[in-house]
Structure 1
Amino acid sequence: MGSDVSQLPMIARWLEDEARDLRRRAGILRTPSESPFASLSKFGLPTPTATEADAGKKLDAGLRAILATHKNGTPQEQAAAVKEYFASLSPTQQAVVAAADPSFVGNLEGVPPKVRFAANRISIQKEFDEENSYFQGLATNDPAYKRTKARIETLRSFLNPRLKKTSDGNGRIVDVEATRQFLIFDAHFGSTGDPKASPFPDGRVAEVVGDLEKAEHVAFRVPGILNRLDNFNDFSKGGYNLIQDAKRVEQPDTAVVSWLGYDTPEVGDSVDPTKAILGGYQLNAFRQGISVNLRQDAKTSLFAHSYGTLVTSKALQSGLTNIDNVTFMGSPGLGPNIHSVADFHMPNTNFFAMRAVGDPVSYTQGHGDDPADFPDIKRLGTDGATGHSDYYKVGTGSLANMQQILFGDTKKLTFTNTTLDQEKVGAAEVRELVMFLHERVDPEVVNKMGADLDPIVQGILNGRSSLKDVILPIHSVLNKYNMLDRVKPDELFGEVQKLAGNLAYKQTYKAAKDRGAPDFVAKIAANTAATSSRGLLTVVTWPVVKVLEFDRLRNNTRQLVDGLRSDGRKMLGDGQEMTSEVAQDGRRIVSDGTQMGGTLFKDGGNIALGIGDTFVHPGHVIDNTAGALKSMDHAKSQFLSKGGDAVAAFNRATNTVVDKSGSIIHTGRDMGSKALHKGTDVIDSALNFVGF
């Protein structure tokens, strides 16, 4: 009993710690309701009085005047001017400006970080209140319910504290609450990837972990596709992991910025580099602007993932040079013009790359060469990370290497030089297949097709559609872009059979060698396996090829008939329109000619009568001469008027004939060209279908 009683104080302390931790975690789930003044106080800014608050408009106008003066300056010059303006303000005045226009101040480079944090906290509270009110009116079966709920919970988490590990001074690691710090917040930025699933744009956010102004080491993280405000916490978690040491304690001399400052693509438009180009300019502007708030001797590292590597590549090409280290991970390629580190022309920057085992994005090379294969890059190990999304996972070699880069301890870096075959069975064949498709489909077509496919993919991702529901819509999109003509079924499956044979050869050869077989035996077995694989795949895929070839024949025949019908209708319409307009102008010419003839006859008769009357009555010569002149003027006027109308009608008729005849000829020539091209496709698809 004495032994048990002696443990009671220890148990009591444990229960006390657990209770404290539960209270903290419960606090994180509370619904926030915070005044702007409370948001200011979270970051040590004073609460303005009513009189001081009235000065907000004047101070805000002064800030905008500074920006107007430097509107043609670089992002760094503009940020420096803003920083200088805020340095001239008292803490109370800074608080007044933040409260007066929080959305403007919170996203403005050069504003002191704590002022931006406070301003964005005010904006987050306002956005939470508005979106939560909207959410309360949604039915649970509404398509927007799920995504909107996730967005509300994310905004709630922004306002509630997070838990971080720190030392209590007695050697114990404890969890403490930390107010979250947002350097950027704009809930209405960017596109709305799926309006049915969410009525709100994707938004942009950047969170800071650590003391940005005092940190010796600063990291910027750039994400890839499908990242947005409602799932930002999944992205920001990687920043928390990055800044921690082996004991999960955040390093005091380090800061990490998780930057979601560009409009990330959805699945469909991820094949299009447009958003990466714009995002690159935005990343460059952000990095240049934030430099005025960093230590001059701060070491900076940029960690880019997936499509974010393409964004980073575009930023580096647009002038982003003040970065000490750049790490690409899970990259689909850095653009068609980047084949090595040397192409960036940045000799003072260290470049690293990672490709985890089984990362399909790196294998596809959808946007260019995989940086992990660059001859002049340092390729880092990723032990423990698999697939596309494990790079920041705790305990992996990829996270450990990033931490060494960030903390400046590069002596502990681990490297690898594994090949595709060593990393994943079939990875090399996947890359070859993608290259085969790239050669046959223009990038412009890929981009347009991706945009058309994206709504279909969004329906699957957000649970509105099943795979069975999307087969016909996908089939329709593929037919729209004539994919069976661009990538013929027999050629596609021929490539698949070839790659399958290559894969079978590699695997069989390796298995035979692993069992101690001589090299010639291993090669015989491998060749036999490759031949068998190709033969078996030919038998299995033959019905599929025939179905697709019949589909291609049907599509081409329909397109040929539809094209002939459409162009024929246009030619007929142009001919009818030409006939109608020429007839109308002809009637006008006849009418004007008739009227002009009648006028000339009448006026000529009047002149003749006047001349005759003058011979009979010479005293009437003056009156008859005046009448004759009047008749001549009237005849001249009518001749010019009706003659001009007739000439105009004739010109219109001529132009109509020329224009419509040209259109008919052009349509006919175009119809002939398309008929010849599509007719060739019909013949080719028919021959393929019957086996020639």
Structure 2
Amino acid sequence: MTRRLLARIALGLLAVGLWPGSAAAYEPPGTAAWLADTVDGHPLPDPASASPADVAAFFAALAPETASDLARRHPGVVGNLDGAPLALRYEANERTAGLPGRQLLAYDPTGDGRIAEVVGDLATAERVAVIVPGVDTTLGNFHTGLGGRQERSPLWQARQVFEAAGDDRLAVIAWLGYDAPENGGLSTMSLIRSDRAESGGESLAGLLDGLALASPQATVTVIGHSYGSTVAAYAAPAFPAQVTDLVALGSPGMDVDTAAELGTNARVWAGLAADDPITNVPDLRVLGLGHGEDPADAEFGALRLDATGNSGHDGYFVPGATVLRGLTAIIESTRSAA
């Protein structure tokens, strides 16, 4: 019996008793108080249902002092509300996080936490890269990296991309806007299920729609590392036109068999180091468990991102790495599209 068949049987047995459920819709902290408030007797947009365009229109109709007052009274909502003005989100999240001078596009300390931080000037950027991290990434290790390894810090990764590009018209967002799966004990099931990726993809799509409204002049490259590539796959069908490229690094799979099935007009790239442990993950998806074909396989149909010389699962953003050079080339190639 082949290893592939054994893995398929095992996944099938797991699926019988552990059918993946849907994750609850994300509610920013302070949502109840926000929904109980009004402006001139009119209700505030519901974070669970209002689109980024609805939110942008709401704030555009407010006097500046009224918008600032809302950010002061409801920082947890305004700071995490796609479509709200960038300056207001920065102001609200600085107040909540107590981190002056940081460009925080999202901040939520509840649970494992959520955070998005911008490197560069997002307001004037002509190119934007969004890095979506994977398993075991939390607010607690966002800056230091999982296990204290800086290579696993999304913010460190964002800084490497920004510095390698050497482009003052680039902004890079390290985006932990979803509840990443955990690796350990029963929580390990979240690794092979897709509910975190589905809900994360919805949140990522909201971020991208908000970016398209705030910075319509900018092209966007989405970079998913590990399970972050699965999250990006679920956002792909809803990518706004500004998203020109989707990059999967060290991916466990994107829950589809081919790049064409992602349903996006963006170019799809995949890079995988030869010694990345993710290569041991079976290319299977059974009854909603597992993540399917390896995007780095030729049959998947993605463009190849050269990973020659890259080491392990955490080496894709190391200065001088082949993949990092390739990433900056992809981002900079969108100059002609801007």
TM range (shorter): 0.7 to 0.9
Question: Any conservation in 2 of the 1:332–1:363 contact (CA below 8 Å)?
Answer: no
The 1:251/1:397 distance shift into structure 2, 3 A limit, reads: same
1:62 has 2:39 as partner: yes
Which of 166, 176, 193 is matched with 1:272 structurally? Answer: 193
Which of 221, 227, 232 is matched with 2:137 structurally? Answer: 227
**Rounded Cα–Cα distance in structure 1 between residues aligned with 2:45 and 2:249:** 40
The 1:71/1:238 distance shift into structure 2, 3 A limit, reads: closer
Query: Secondary structure of 2:261's partner?
Result: helix
Q: In the alignment, what sits opposite 1:304?
A: 224
**Rounded Cα–Cα distance in structure 2 between residues aligned with 1:390 and 1:70:** 37
Query: Secondary structure of 1:219's partner?
Result: strand
User: Higher relative contact order at CA 8 Å, sep ≥6: structure 1 or structure 2?
Assistant: 2
**Rounded Cα–Cα distance in structure 2 between residues aligned with 1:64 and 1:404:** 51
Query: Which letter maps to 2:63?
Result: L
Q: In the alignment, what sits opposite 1:96?
A: 69
RMSD (CA atoms): 2.5
CA shift at 1:312, angstroms?
1.1
1:242 has 2:158 as partner: no
The 1:72/1:389 distance shift into structure 2, 3 A limit, reads: closer
Question: Any conservation in 1 of the 2:154–2:174 contact (CA below 8 Å)?
Answer: yes
Q: In the alignment, what sits opposite 1:400?
A: 325
Query: Which letter maps to 1:255?
Result: A
Query: Which letter maps to 1:271?
Result: I
Question: Any conservation in 2 of the 1:123–1:185 contact (CA below 8 Å)?
Answer: yes
Query: Secondary structure of 2:130's partner?
Result: strand
CA shift at 1:227, angstroms?
0.1
**Rounded Cα–Cα distance in structure 2 between residues aligned with 1:79 and 1:66:** 12
Query: Which letter maps to 1:227?
Result: T
Query: Secondary structure of 1:372's partner?
Result: coil
CA shift at 1:71, angstroms?
8.0
Which of 113, 117, 133 is matched with 2:86 structurally? Answer: 113
1:340 has 2:258 as partner: yes
Which of 243, 251, 264 is matched with 2:167 structurally? Answer: 251
Query: Secondary structure of 2:136's partner?
Result: coil
The 1:374/1:277 distance shift into structure 2, 3 A limit, reads: farther
CA shift at 1:315, angstroms?
1.7
Query: Which letter maps to 1:330?
Result: G
CA shift at 1:229, angstroms?
0.6
**Rounded Cα–Cα distance in structure 2 between residues aligned with 1:320 and 1:63:** 35
Which of 91, 94, 97 is matched with 1:124 structurally? Answer: 97
Question: Any conservation in 2 of the 1:67–1:78 contact (CA below 8 Å)?
Answer: no
**Rounded Cα–Cα distance in structure 2 between residues aligned with 1:390 and 1:363:** 17
Instruction: Tell me the TM-score normalised to structure 2 length.
Output: 0.75
**Rounded Cα–Cα distance in structure 2 between residues aligned with 1:68 and 1:273:** 29
Query: Which letter maps to 2:198?
Result: I
Query: Which letter maps to 1:89?
Result: A
Query: Where does the alignment leave 5 or more consecutive residues of structure 1 unmatched?
Result: 1-56, 126-158, 161-178, 189-200, 412-692
Which of 194, 212, 233 is matched with 1:313 structurally? Answer: 233
**Rounded Cα–Cα distance in structure 2 between residues aligned with 1:180 and 1:307:** 26
Larger Rg: 1
Instruction: Tell me the TM-score normalised to structure 1 length.
Output: 0.38
1:372 has 2:296 as partner: yes
Higher helix residue share: 1
Query: Secondary structure of 2:142's partner?
Result: helix
Structure 1 residue ranges (4+ consecutive) displaced by more than 6 angstroms after TM superposition: none
Question: Any conservation in 2 of the 1:70–1:77 contact (CA below 8 Å)?
Answer: no
**Rounded Cα–Cα distance in structure 2 between residues aligned with 1:261 and 1:72:** 17
The 1:70/1:228 distance shift into structure 2, 3 A limit, reads: closer
Query: Where does the alignment leave 5 or more consecutive residues of structure 2 unmatched?
Result: 1-33, 144-152, 284-289
- The correspondence of residues 192-211 of structure 1 with structure 2, limited to 5 A, is 201-211=111-121
- The correspondence of residues 41-52 of structure 1 with structure 2, limited to 5 A, is none
Query: Secondary structure of 2:208's partner?
Result: helix
1:358 has 2:275 as partner: yes
1:76 has 2:58 as partner: no
Q: Percent identity?
A: 32
Question: Any conservation in 1 of the 2:80–2:89 contact (CA below 8 Å)?
Answer: yes
Query: Which letter maps to 1:184?
Result: A
Query: Secondary structure of 2:269's partner?
Result: strand
CA shift at 1:72, angstroms?
5.8
The 1:285/1:65 distance shift into structure 2, 3 A limit, reads: farther
Higher strand residue share: 2
